[in-house]
């Protein structure tokens, strides 16, 4: 079984803060990480390989420094890595990104399953996974929390919903996006780390994947950002301290307007 | 040529652009702006920051939807579950009506499902002028392939300028496929929508970087403009039983219903009766709850307030509550009217999942806990003392 995992290198949003004095984004020392949801995608891909054989190819689109994230994926058990990187991709929205990654996947050609994290924590769109599936015209199962069975070219999985889950079956090849519940990602092994250090990362440019010029980067992106702004800071709240019954009474009195 | 250009002669070296760049792509070299194109994502923050001097310009030469002026009307994808229209649909209808009135066009809904024909009238009462209904056993549950095929066919035939879709697991899974196949723009998880009535484009505002910044996004040159909209942000449209509208039942031939995917079973497993994404009040517990048995106390408080129980990642990882109750970056994003955080210190990963709640109440022993920075009201104290008192007091006043 050949598995492709699509990952994204993202700024660690848990370290991004707003400077209360200037209301600007503070990014000093914010490190780049593999999108947390993609860690579950990597783990699930490696588990499928361990069960069914085959190989795991990890794929990302990004700047040259995204190489670090691909090596991390190799240290966790992925076999090959592809970095799709070209200045012509700058300014890509989710449509252009879906197109670019699908062209890279067409070049890889031989795959049974594509796995993505449910969304990336910097953009939170959850659009690129289904976008790739649509570009490739393959079926998808989003928000997968458990793979029940893969047999005779069919896959059965539990798809998390707001209310619980659905058991869904589809044909291979297919694309899955996975949620945190699906597994507990392993830590890299020493062997994995050595492998990652020495791994050859393939770097593909727009011309290598046969991408049409007007479908990538700025040109291929129908959406763009008009402005970015920091939300107005919340006014300081009211803090009650003191004896239990007294503070509870004060709080409930303050809420009266809300509680009709 | 499309891309970003710095006009060095206009650059005053003020470095406002470097401050504004969310990607750290700008450095000042000899008091002039230099952009690292490997880091730049062409987001436009610097252009905005440099408006006074006009030293940075982004030129976009995108394609355009042919006959763009022929696209008219605002559509809503009406989400149903088990034959019941979901309330998020009514929130979208309220917003759609407002946008359509500014643009002086009609509102239409697309309703797909099985045994749902008689539900279409409710959408008219809530502000739709027209409802396209496709009723077929194959559409009982979301199946992305037939759903996307049908929605696309209706869009191609009737050419709406805007389509709003709930930012739910159903909406997000479906509409991304539609956007890609139509090759149009899609903006996820919007919390603010407005139109420019003269130029007829949609301004879509959404949180990014976990809600630390907001971005307003346009898709000026393509139609329809697609957006998913976050639940519990827009106000529900009110019912007007006097409203009139047209219900059109649309038939499709068999080929439209082909699906490689099938739903074998649907299981509901939310512990309390209220799903946290739907709840108006959420009582959440963190690590300081100390054990699964102590969540009973939160359930009692939630019950009095007709709310649901949530939990921080720390509490979920301890196994005190099921994952479907997790609030935060790797759990659910919620925006209830009242959010009560009990024994939650307020790490950023939790805050991004609940900071858009209307009123946040924090109960924590540690007065320096970060949760107090975003709380509207806070009680510094022992939650095992405070919560039962609070439950009792709410019982008295409600």
User: How crowded is residue B10: how many other Cβ atoms within 10 Å of its Cβ?
Assistant: 13
Tokens 């999985």 sit on residue: A157
Mean pLDDT of A177-192: 95
Is pLDDT of A192 > 70? yes
The Cα of B23 is separated from the nearest Cα of chain A by a number of Å equal to 8
Whole-angstrom CA distances from A31 to A11, A68, A139, B140, B209 are 6, 12, 35, 45, 14
pLDDT at B155: 98
CA distance B370 to chain A (A): 12
Would you call B359 an interface residue with chain A, using a CB distance cutoff of 8 Å? Answer: yes
Please check whether residue B268 touches A, CB under 8 A.
Answer: yes
Q: Does B188 touch chain A (CB under 8 A)?
A: yes
Residues 92 to 131 of B: which have CB under 8 A from any A CB? none
Q: Look up the CATH number of the domain holding residue B376.
A: 3.40.50.1220
What gap in Å lies between CA A215 and CA B57, rounded to an integer? Answer: 21
Identify whether B342 is preceded by a cis peptide bond (ω within 30 of 0).
no
What is the per-residue pLDDT across B153-198, written as a single tens digit (0 to 9) for each? 999 999 999 999 999 999 999 999 999 999 999 999 999 999 999 9
Are B149 and B290 found together in one domain? no
User: Angle formed by the axes of helices A244-255 and B383-397, to 10°?
Assistant: 40
- Give the 3-state secondary structure of residue A142: strand
Q: What was the pLDDT predicted at B1? A: 47
| pLDDT number for residue B383 | 94
Q: Is residue B270 part of a domain?
A: no
pLDDT surpasses 90 at B90:
yes
Nearest to B215 among A90, A219, A228 (CB): A228
Q: Which residue, among A14, A194, A51, has the nearest Cα to B329 in the 3D structure?
A: A14
- Residue B95 burial (CB count, 10 A): 25
- Looking at the structure, do residues B79 and B223 belong to the same domain, yes or no? yes
Would you say residue B385 lies in a domain? yes
DSSP conformation letters of B382-397: -HHHHHHHHHHHHHHH
More confident residue, A103 or B210: A103
- Say if B200 falls within a structural domain: yes
Is B118 among the domain residues?
yes
Contacts 24+ apart (CB under 8 A), B349-352: B349/A14, B349/B210, B349/B313, B350/B286, B350/B312, B350/B313, B351/B211, B352/A13, B352/B210, B352/B211, B352/B212, B352/B328
Interval B66-88: pLDDT, tens: 999 999 999 999 999 999 999 99
Residue B272 domain-assigned (yes or no): no
ipTM of the complex: 0.90
Task: Name chain A contacts of B330, Cβ cutoff 8 Å.
Answer: 36-37, 180
- Residue B108 distance to chain A (closest CA, Å): 24
In this structure, the answer to whether residues B292 and B165 fall within a common structural domain is no
Tell me how close the Cα of B387 comes to any Cα of chain A, in angstroms.
Answer: 9
Q: What are phi and psi of B69, to 5 degrees?
A: -75, -10
Do B122 and B217 reside in the same domain of the chain?
A: yes
B74 to A98, A219, B106, B158, B163: CA distances (angstroms): 26, 26, 6, 11, 6
Indicate if the pLDDT at residue A120 is higher than 70. Answer: yes
On the question of pLDDT at A20 being above 60, the answer is no
What does the pLDDT read at residue B332? 85
pLDDT at residue B209, as a whole number: 73
pLDDT tens per residue across span B111-143: 999 999 999 999 999 999 999 999 999 999 999
Q: Taking the domain A2-225, which CATH number applies?
A: 3.40.50.620
Q: What is the rounded distance in angstroms from the CA atom of residue B235 to the CA atom of residue B239?
A: 12
Provide the pLDDT confidence category of residue A28 given band limits of 50, 70 and 90.
Answer: low
Say if B249 is an interface residue toward chain A (CB within 8 Å): no
The pLDDT-based confidence of B226 (bands split at 50, 70, 90) is: very high
Q: Are residues B9 and B153 in the same domain?
A: no
Between chain A and chain B, how many beta carbons pairs sit less than 8 Å apart? 303
Mean pLDDT value across chain B? 92
- Measured in angstroms, the CA of A90 and the nearest CA of chain B are apart by 5
- B339 and B362 part of one domain: yes
The answer to whether the Cβ–Cβ distance between A169 and B264 falls below 8 Å is yes
**Interchain proximity B267–A127, CB inside 8 Å:** no
The tally of domains found in chain B comes to 3
- The pLDDT value recorded for residue B36 is 87
Q: Can you tell me the mean pLDDT for A85-103? A: 95
Q: Mean pLDDT check: name the lowest of A23-27, A81-85, A162-166, B47-51.
A: A23-27
Distance CA B381, CA B362 (A): 10
Instruction: Give strand pairing partners of B248.
Output: B132
Q: Do B62 and A221 touch (CB under 8 A)?
A: yes
The tens digit of pLDDT for each residue in B229-266 reads 988 888 899 999 999 999 999 999 999 999 999 999 99
- Chain B, nearest residue to A61 by Cα: B38
The answer to whether position B148 is within a domain reads yes
Extract the runs of DSSP E, i.e. beta strands, from B88-224: 107-113, 130-135, 162-166, 186-190, 192-196, 201-208, 213-218
Query: Do B101 and B177 belong together in one domain?
Result: yes
Cβ(B205)–Cβ(B193) under 8 Å?
yes
Residue A218 has its nearest CB partner, among B3, B188, B382, at B3
Q: Are residues B298 and B364 in the same domain?
A: yes
Whether B340 is in a domain gets the answer yes
Residue A25 pairs in a beta bridge with A18
Chain B hits for A171, CB-CB cut-off 8 Å, are 260-261
Instruction: Pick B275's closest partner by Cβ from A15, A163, A168.
Output: A163
Residue B232 domain boundaries: 68-257
Indicate the residue of B61, B141, B376 with minimum beta-carbon distance to A237: B376
When pLDDT is averaged across residues A179-199 and rounded to a whole number, the result is: 95
Where in chain A are the domains?
A: 2-225
The CA distances from residue B270 to A104, A161, B48, B277, in Å, are 40, 10, 45, 11
Cβ–Cβ under 8 Å, residues B326 and B350: no
Q: In this model, does residue B274 exceed pLDDT 80?
A: no
Residue A95 has its nearest CB partner, among B180, B213, B215, at B180
How far, in Å, are B82, B254, B300 from residue B137 at the CA level?
Answer: 12, 12, 41
CA B149 to chain centroid = 24
Asked if residue B49 and residue B74 are part of one domain, the reply reads no
Rounded to a whole number of angstroms, the distance from the CA of A112 to the nearest CA of chain B is: 15
Q: Label residue A23 by pLDDT band (50, 70, 90).
A: low
Q: Any idea what DSSP says for residue B103?
A: H
pLDDT band for B38, please (50, 70, 90 cuts).
confident
Which residue of A161, A169, A223 is in closest CB contact with B218? Answer: A223
Phi, psi of B62 (to 5 degrees): -85, 165
Whether residue B210 is predicted with pLDDT greater than 70 in this model: the reply is no
Quickly state the pLDDT bin for B60 (edges 50, 70, 90). Answer: confident
Task: Report whether B276 contacts B327 (CB < 8 A).
Answer: yes
Lowest mean pLDDT among A98-102, A253-257, B384-388: A253-257
Q: Which residues of A touch B348 (CB under 8 A)?
A: 13-15, 17
Tell me which of A189-203, B212-226, B344-358 is least confident: B344-358
pLDDT value at position B41? 77
B113 shares its domain with B89:
yes
Query: B377 — phi, psi (to 5°)?
Result: -135, 145
Q: Is A104 left (phi over 0), alpha (psi -120 to 50) or beta?
A: alpha
Interface test with B, best of A161, A169, A254 (most B CBs within 10 A): A161
Given this model, what pLDDT does residue A14 score? 64
Do B55 and B94 sit in the same domain of this protein? no
Question: For a pLDDT cut of 90, what percent of chain B falls above it?
Answer: 76
Reply yes or no on whether the pLDDT at A22 is more than 60.
no
pLDDT by residue (tens digit) across B6-26? 999 999 999 999 888 877 889
Same domain as B215, residue B89: yes
How many angstroms from the chain centroid is the CA of residue A111?
A: 19
Percent of chain B with pLDDT over 70: 97
């Amino acid at each position: 079984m050949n598995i492709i995992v699509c990952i994204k290198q993202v700024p660690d949003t848990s370290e991004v803060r707003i400077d209360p004095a200037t209301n600007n984004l503070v990014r000093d020392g914010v490190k780049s990480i593999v999108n947390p949801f993609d860690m579950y995608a990597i783990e699930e891909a490696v588990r499928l390989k361990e069960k069914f054989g085959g190989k795991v190819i990890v794929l990302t689109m990004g700047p040259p420094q995204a190489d670090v994230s691909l090596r991390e994926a190799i240290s966790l058990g992925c076999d090959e890595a592809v970095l799709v990187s070209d200045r012509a991709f700058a300014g890509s929205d989710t449509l252009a990104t879906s197109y670019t990654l699908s062209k890279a996947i067409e070049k890889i050609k031989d795959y049974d399953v594509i796995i993505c994290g449910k969304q990336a924590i910097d953009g939170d769109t959850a659009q690129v996974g289904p976008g790739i599936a649509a570009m490739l015209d393959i079926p998808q199962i989003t928000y997968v929390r458990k793979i029940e069975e893969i047999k005779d070219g069919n896959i059965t999985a539990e798809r998390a919903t707001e209310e619980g889950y659905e058991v869904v079956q589809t044909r291979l090849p297919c694309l899955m996006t996975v949620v945190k519940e699906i597994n507990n990602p392993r830590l890299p092994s020493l062997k994995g780390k050595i492998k990652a250090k020495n791994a050859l990362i393939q770097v593909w440019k727009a011309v290598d994947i046969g991408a049409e010029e007007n479908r990538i980067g700025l040109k291929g992106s129908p959406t763009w950002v008009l402005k970015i702004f920091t939300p107005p800071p919340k006014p300081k709240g009211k803090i009650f301290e003191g004896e239990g019954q007294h503070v509870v009474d004060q709080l409930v009195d303050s809420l009266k307007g809300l509680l009709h | 040529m499309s891309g970003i250009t710095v006009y060095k002669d206009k650059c005053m070296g003020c470095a406002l652009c470097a401050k504004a760049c969310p990607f750290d792509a700008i450095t000042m070299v000899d008091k002039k702006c230099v952009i690292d194109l490997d880091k730049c994502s062409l987001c436009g923050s610097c252009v905005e920051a440099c408006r006074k001097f006009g030293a940075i310009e982004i030129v976009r030469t995108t394609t355009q939807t042919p006959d763009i002026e022929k696209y008219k009307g605002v559509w809503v994808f009406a989400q149903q579950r088990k034959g019941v229209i979901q309330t998020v649909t009514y929130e979208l209808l309220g917003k759609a009506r407002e946008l359509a009135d500014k643009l002086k066009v009609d509102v239409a809904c697309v309703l797909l499902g099985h045994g749902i024909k008689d539900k279409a009238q409710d959408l008219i009462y809530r502000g739709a002028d027209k409802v396209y209904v496709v009723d077929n056993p194959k559409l009982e549950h979301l199946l992305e392939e037939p759903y996307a095929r049908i929605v696309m066919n209706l869009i191609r035939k009737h050419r709406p300028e805007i389509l709003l879709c709930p930012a739910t697991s159903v909406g997000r899974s479906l509409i991304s496929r539609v956007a890609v196949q139509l090759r149009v723009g899609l903006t996820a998880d919007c919390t603010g929508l407005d139109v420019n009535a003269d130029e007829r484009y949609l301004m879509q505002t959404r949180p990014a970087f976990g809600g630390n910044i907001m971005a307003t996004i346009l898709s000026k040159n393509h139609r329809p403009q697609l957006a998913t909209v976050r639940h519990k942000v827009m106000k529900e449209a009110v019912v007007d039983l006097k409203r009139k509208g047209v219900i059109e039942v649309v038939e499709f031939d068999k080929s439209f219903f082909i699906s490689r995917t099938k739903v074998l079973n649907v299981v509901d497993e939310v512990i309390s009766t209220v799903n946290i994404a739907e709840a108006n009040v959420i009582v959440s517990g963190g690590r300081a709850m100390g054990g699964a048995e102590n969540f009973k106390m939160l359930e009692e408080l939630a019950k009095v307030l007709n709310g649901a129980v949530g939990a921080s990642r720390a509490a979920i990882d301890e196994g005190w509550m099921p994952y479907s109750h997790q609030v935060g970056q790797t759990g659910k994003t919620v925006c209830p009217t009242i959010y009560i955080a009990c024994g939650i210190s307020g790490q950023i990963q939790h805050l991004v999942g609940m900071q858009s709640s209307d009123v946040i109440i924090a109960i924590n022993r540690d007065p320096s806990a970060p949760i107090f920075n975003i709380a509207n009201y806070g009680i510094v104290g022992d939650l095992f003392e405070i919560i039962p008192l609070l439950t009792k007091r709410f019982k008295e006043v409600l």
